[in-house]
Chains A and B, each alone.
Chain A
């Protein structure tokens, strides 16, 4: 049960696009299309932004999109806004009723 690998931090300017990667293995990210992404602002609970690799829950901006290739999933945020500054976590189903989280990525909007 090793955590999925995410970059510790990424940054971008308002209006730009950024991509956060999430690397797993053939037992989790590479084997299931149950990859989700969560946004967490300081002191608050996480919020689902993307599920099943590339689906957006109702109410989430279409500036957020997800994709997957092999054992690596990605979250892309386009048209960066100051309110996007937060921690982002990927999560993958890993079989046998288990899930794994990534270590988290701190997004700074410069």
Chain B
């Protein structure tokens, strides 16, 4: 079955960086677009970034553009999110998610999430 396992979350000071990873299994990773979606404590879902199946297309929410970078290693079935210049507003559970197809229109599967806390 499809499994998405996030890692790399934790407590980080404002202005510092953090890199999240998502290990995928149970499907052909290189055939699907992937996402990062976050949820601040007690708040709703917010799309963060999307990457196409082959990594040639990346897109970002305005709130993270220029600070976050999504990438993937299809040889290792792993998705990444490099987060720089973190602020307290970035505190959230970060979910890795898989699209139904190759380019990104619908999130089908979700991981369990990893908590990122930005605090001094």
Residues of A within 8 A of B (CB): 1, 3, 32, 34, 36, 38, 40, 45-48, 51-52, 57, 87, 89, 91, 93, 96-104
Closest to A36 in B: B106
Verify A99–B46 contact, CB threshold 8 A.
no
Q: Which A residue sits closest to B35, measured CB to CB?
A: A99
Closest A residue by C-beta to B100? A51
Given the complex, which residues of B lie within 8 Å of A34, measured CB to CB?
A: 105-106
Of the candidate stretches B19-27, B55-63, B71-79, B82-90, the one touching chain A is B55-63
Contact of A98 among B37, B50, B111 (CB under 8 A): B50
Contacts of A52 in B (CB 8 A): 106
Q: Are B44 and A89 in contact (CB under 8 A)?
A: yes
B45 touches A101 (CB 8 A): yes
Residue of B with least CB distance to A99: B47
Contacts A/B (CB < 8 Å), 21 sampled = A1-B62, A34-B105, A36-B107, A38-B45, A45-B111, A46-B107, A46-B110, A48-B107, A52-B106, A57-B108, A87-B44, A91-B45, A91-B47, A91-B106, A93-B105, A97-B58, A97-B104, A98-B61, A99-B107, A101-B46, A104-B45
